[in-house]
Structures are given as C-alpha cells and as structure tokens.
Amino acid sequence: MSHEMISNIFVFVLATFVGLQVIQRVSPLLHTPLMSLTNAISAISVVGSLVISGKGETGFSTVLGTVAVCASMINIVGGYLLTYRMVRMFKKRSPKKS
Amino acid sequence: MSESMIDLIYLASASCFILALIWLNTVKTSRRGVVTGVLGMLLAVVGTLLQPSIEHYTWIAAAIFLGSAIGIPLALVPMTAVPQRTALSHAFGALAVTLVGTAEFYMNNAHLGAFEMTTLCIEVFLGSLTFTASLMAAGKLQEILPSRPVTYRGQNFVNLGMFGVALAVAVLIAVNPSSPLSSQVLFPAMIALCMIFGVALILPIGGADMPTVISLLNSYAGLSASMMGFVLNNKLLIIAGALDGSSGLILSIIMCKAMNRSFMNVLFGAFGQVQASKAALTQKTYRSAGAEEAAELLRTASKVMIVPGYGMAVAQAQHKVRELFDILSGQGVDVKFAIHPVAGRMPGHMNVLLAEAEIPYDKLIEMDEANADMPQVDISLIIGANDVTNPGARSDKTSPIYGMPILDVDKSRMVMVIKRSMNPGFAGIDNELYYMDKTLMLFGDAKVFLTELVKDLSSND
C-alpha cells in the first residue's frame, strides 16, 4: 500500500470519529433536518461526477458523469433548501394570531 | 490553478461541513449551520471546476441547470412527505456514486491498484444496492407500493444467498480487474445482483421500521461517497462521506435502541407478520366518549400531555392539534408534547410536523423527560400513536415489542386515545392500554375529531 492510501485511511478514520462525536450532540428535535443536511453534504459526490463529466474521456463516461452531476445537483439544491425551510420552522414562541 | 491551491479550497470546504454539523446541534445556531453547509458545497464545486483536467463545460452546465430545476420542487414538499423525499434523495445520491464508480472502472480498470479497486467495488456495491433499496423505501412510504411487509418462506435464505454471491463476484473483480471477464460479465453482474438485492432487502420492511431503514440507507450512501474518495484519491470526498456515514449510523443506532431491536432483527425480522393470530383473542370492554365529553374533561385538567404518532401525519391533523394547543394554553392548561424517537416514519418526523404547525419547540419533549412528568399529568391525549404507548412492552413477555422503551401514558391520571376504530394497528399488536379503566377511546378521524373538540372547547368559554 502506498503512503497516499495510508494517509487516506487516516483521514477516513479521523473524520468518522469527528462525525460520531459531532452528531451525538445534535438535539433529537433536529434529527430530520440533520438527515436532510447530511444528505446534501453526501452529494459531495458531485466532485467526482464533475471530473468524470468534464474530462470527456469517452462518450460513455461523459454520459455517466453528466447524469451523476445532475443527480448530485438535485440533492445539493433540494437538500439545502429543504433543510433551511425546516430549521426556519422551529420557533420558541407561537406567533400571536391577529 | 495549482493542485495545492485546490487542496486548500477542499480543506476549507471540509471544515465548513464539520462546522455546519456542529451548528446544527441547537435550534438557535441551526440556520447558520445550513448556510455554512452551502458555503462548503460551493467551495467544493468551484475548487473542482478549477481543476485543469476539466475541459468541457457545456454538459456540466446543462446538468447543473437540470438538477437544480428538479431539486427545487423536491425541496418544497409538505412536511408529511419528507420521509419519502429523503428516501428518494438517498437514491439520487447512490445513483451518482454508482455511475461515477462505473465510469471510473471502465476508464481505469487497467491502472488502478488492488486497494483502489477494492474500494471501487465497495463503492459500486453499496451504491447500487442503496439506489434500488431507497427507491423501494420511497415507493412504500409514498404508498405507490404496498407498505405492508412482503414475506415468503425462505426469504432470509434467498436474501443472504444473493448477498453472498454478489460479494463473491465483487472479490473476483477486485482480484483480477483488467480481465475481459471482469469488465464484460462480472462488473455488470455485480451491479445487477446488488440492485436486485436492494429490492429484496426492503420487501419485508414495514412502515414502523422505516425510521431505522432510512437511517441505515443514509449511512450507506455516505459510506459509498467516502469510498469514491479513496478511488479518486480525494480527501474531501472521504471526509464528507464519513460524516454522512457516521450520522446515518448514529441515527440507526438510536432508532434500534428506541425499539429494543438489533440491526439484524430489523432487516431480517419482518416485524409486521408476527402477531396476527393473537389479536381478537378475547372480547374485552372499553369506554368511549364523544367530543363534548372529552372537551368537558380537558377543561378541568391542568396538565395535558399530547402524544402524536404517524396517524396524526396521515390525517394531516397537525394544524388542528395546534388549535387545540392554543385554546388549552389560553385557558391556563400546561400542554406538552411527548415525542417518542420512532414516532413517524423517520427520525425527528413529529418534531418537524409540529414545528411546521407553529407549535413552540420547547413544548416538544423527549421520552425520558415526558416519562418523568407522567404521574403529574392529568390527561394524556394520544393522537395516531399506538405501539409506542403499549404498556405490554413493559410487562408482557410474549409481546413482540417486549422491552421496547415506551411512553408511560398509563401512569398519567387519565388517558384519551383518538383512533379510527378498535382494529389493532399496523403491526397487529393489541394494546391493553385501550381496556384500562382510566382510558377513554375517542373514535373518529383525528382531524375531524379534533375539529369538533376545538369547537366544543371554544364555545363554552
């Protein structure tokens, strides 16, 4: 195994520990927004999709990459927007009815 | 732009994602969290587009435009539909990962080392099974597909067998990736097997198990993105994927604990089938009442605990619940909402529904706190929840939900249950709560009943 792979495994393990610690502190009140936010974050696969699509190495890879960019964008735009909509709904006091 | 510059942009992006999750832990900082998450993603996309290897922008622009156009309406769904929307977006995420992995395989299967090839196989394996499993889950939640568990004899054997074969194929590919056999037969076969396995995995899952399954799929989707990072040697992908993977993992553990079940039991247990025979065993007596009587009783209460469940979402009754909350609070009644972790169809589902109905979030309390309050509660009002209130989970060792932590509504002074009929719920488990002396059954559609209740309560002021 090359040095690079080992350092990648390091990053993976440490990021998992950070994730476990951070997520445990999220209030159960916000578990739905949490899932919707992490869903948007996991659309980071857009990075790989952009590279494949933009390289245009073969027609086949361009098609797959482009569809992948599209699928990732759905999650980025949809995920962040929905999460923002949800967290804005949580209010301390119910607004006075007119 | 130089490679190290791009790496620094990626580092900033990864930091943003971690900060976003840190700030999501309280309501106060949650908006900042979402904005930071957007910034992180923006940095990631810009950093990638600056890479010199990207030469063609036309298709990318079209895909970004189309994806955004589909994403916006998906973000505007009603809160009751958020579980199926979330399942659907897990499917999109998994699709992207699978496609990238496939493209990478056919471009580079001769050059990738053994370690990268192994991670690529895991990536595509998880991606393709998560893709179809999430589509199935979304279909069941949307009730396009029958939401009851579908089981047959030997199901677990078939599923495990399919999983084993797919795994064996994956190993064969990883061992000899550049052979024509791998690229022409094995790789497509692995994807097909995983996709079928994904469908088979969700067939026996019933609605009550959906919170766990959605969390698990969330975890898979993250993990597969992380694997993509190994293949492409991109640390940002590894970090973001690992964050998502650990989040899904924690949520599924919380869900499993809240049902006192193991992962294996959720995936291979086929919950809904267990108890069909035991229901309707004896004719027991219960008391029922109309809206007027319920209103009278509520007026005399000083502490009311409302227990919402999926039934409230189905009946779209959350706004009526809010009206009830307003009236009772206005009359000086202390009203709180007891939220069981697995109430609804995804983690936290009840909270967003009630928050949407503009119920203040400090009135939504967790199970432990609610149970500590129960002996002081005059009336607990159950709306569309069933199993999470069943005292059998504490005492009846033969009950399939024995050992599951429940909301101890039977310890409050009086219990009211809004329910359509005496039919046992989705899981087919009879609830002895309904036959207790202190329980009053309020029959009817939750929304219709609450409308009457609110009318009666406000008329006699």
Which contiguous run of DSSP H or E holds residue A54? helix A46-55
Counting one residue from chain A and one from chain B, the pairs whose CB atoms sit within 8 A come to: 382
Question: How confident is the model at residue B283, as a pLDDT?
Answer: 63
Kindly state the percentage of chain B with pLDDT values over 90: 68
Catalytic residue among B209, B244, B373, B387: B387
CB proximity B248 to A under 8 Å: yes
| pLDDT band for position B265 (cuts 50, 70, 90) | confident
Looking at B138-147, B149-158, B267-276, B340-349, which range is the least confident one?
A: B267-276
Question: How confident is the model at residue B273, as a pLDDT?
Answer: 46
Cβ(B349)–Cβ(B337) below 8 Å: no
- What is d(CA B71, CA B283) in angstroms, rounded to the nearest whole number? 52
Answer whether B75 sits within 8 Å of A85, measured CB to CB: yes
Q: Which residue of B has its CA nearest to A92?
A: B360
Answer whether B339 sits within 8 Å of A27, measured CB to CB: no
Question: How confident is the model at residue B269, as a pLDDT?
Answer: 60
Which of A62-76, B202-216, B309-323 shows the highest mean pLDDT? A62-76
Mean pLDDT (whole number) for B201-217: 89
Mutate to test the interface with B, among A14, A25, A44 (most CBs of B within 10 A): A44
- What is d(CA A95, CA B322) in angstroms, rounded to the nearest whole number? 12
Question: How confident is the model at residue A62, as a pLDDT?
Answer: 94
Mean pLDDT (whole number) for B318-332: 93
Q: What is the mean pLDDT of chain B?
A: 90
How does pLDDT run across B218-258, given as a tens digit for each residue?
999 999 999 999 999 999 999 999 999 999 999 999 999 89
Question: How confident is the model at residue B428, as a pLDDT?
Answer: 64
Question: How confident is the model at residue B223, as a pLDDT?
Answer: 95
Question: How confident is the model at residue B397, as a pLDDT?
Answer: 83
pLDDT at B277 over 50: no
Cβ neighbours of A96 in B, within 8 Å: none
* Helix ranges, B24-81 (H): 27-49, 58-75
pLDDT at B379 over 60: yes
| pLDDT band for position B278 (cuts 50, 70, 90) | very low
Looking at A86-95, B261-270, B406-415, which range is the least confident one?
A: B261-270
Q: Which residue has the higher pLDDT, B429 or A8?
A: A8
How does pLDDT run across B110-140, given as a tens digit for each residue?
888 888 999 999 999 999 999 999 999 999 9
Question: How confident is the model at residue B275, as a pLDDT?
Answer: 42
How does pLDDT run across B49-98, given as a tens digit for each residue?
998 888 889 999 999 999 999 999 999 999 999 999 999 999 999 999 99
Nearest 5°: CA angle at A88, between A27 and B29?
50
Question: How confident is the model at residue B276, as a pLDDT?
Answer: 42
Cβ(B312)–Cβ(B345) below 8 Å: no
Question: How confident is the model at residue A57, as a pLDDT?
Answer: 87
Question: How confident is the model at residue A98, as a pLDDT?
Answer: 41
- What is d(CA A29, CA A13) in angstroms, rounded to the nearest whole number? 28
Q: How far is B16 from chain A (nearest CA, A)?
A: 10
Tokens 């943003």 belong to residue: B16
* Residue whose C-alpha is closest to residue B235's, from A19, A31, A7: A7
Question: Position B15: which residue type?
Answer: S
DSSP, residue by residue, B306-337? EEE-HHHHHTT-HHHHHHHHHHHHHTT-EEEE
Q: Which residue has the higher pLDDT, B426 or B114?
A: B114
For B142-154, what is the HEC assignment? CCCCCCCCCCCCC
Mutate to test the interface with B, among A17, A62, A64, A70 (most CBs of B within 10 A): A70
Question: How confident is the model at residue B264, as a pLDDT?
Answer: 76
Cβ neighbours of B251 in A, within 8 Å: 23, 31, 34-35
Question: How confident is the model at residue B155, as a pLDDT?
Answer: 84
Active site residue B408: no
Question: How confident is the model at residue B272, as a pLDDT?
Answer: 43
- What is d(CA B314, CA B236) in angstroms, rounded to the nearest whole number? 40
Answer whether B361 sits within 8 Å of A92, measured CB to CB: yes
| pLDDT band for position B199 (cuts 50, 70, 90) | very high
- What is d(CA B318, CA B7) in angstroms, rounded to the nearest whole number? 47
pLDDT at B204 over 90: no
- What is d(CA A15, CA A9) in angstroms, rounded to the nearest whole number? 10
pLDDT at B424 over 80: no
Answer whether A23 sits within 8 Å of B240, measured CB to CB: no
Note the pTM of the prediction, 2 decimals.
0.91
pLDDT at B274 over 60: no
Cβ(B243)–Cβ(B17) below 8 Å: yes
Question: Position B140: which residue type?
Answer: K
Nearest to A55 among B54, B62, B66 (CB): B54
CB proximity B143 to A under 8 Å: no
Kindly state the percentage of chain B with pLDDT values over 70: 95
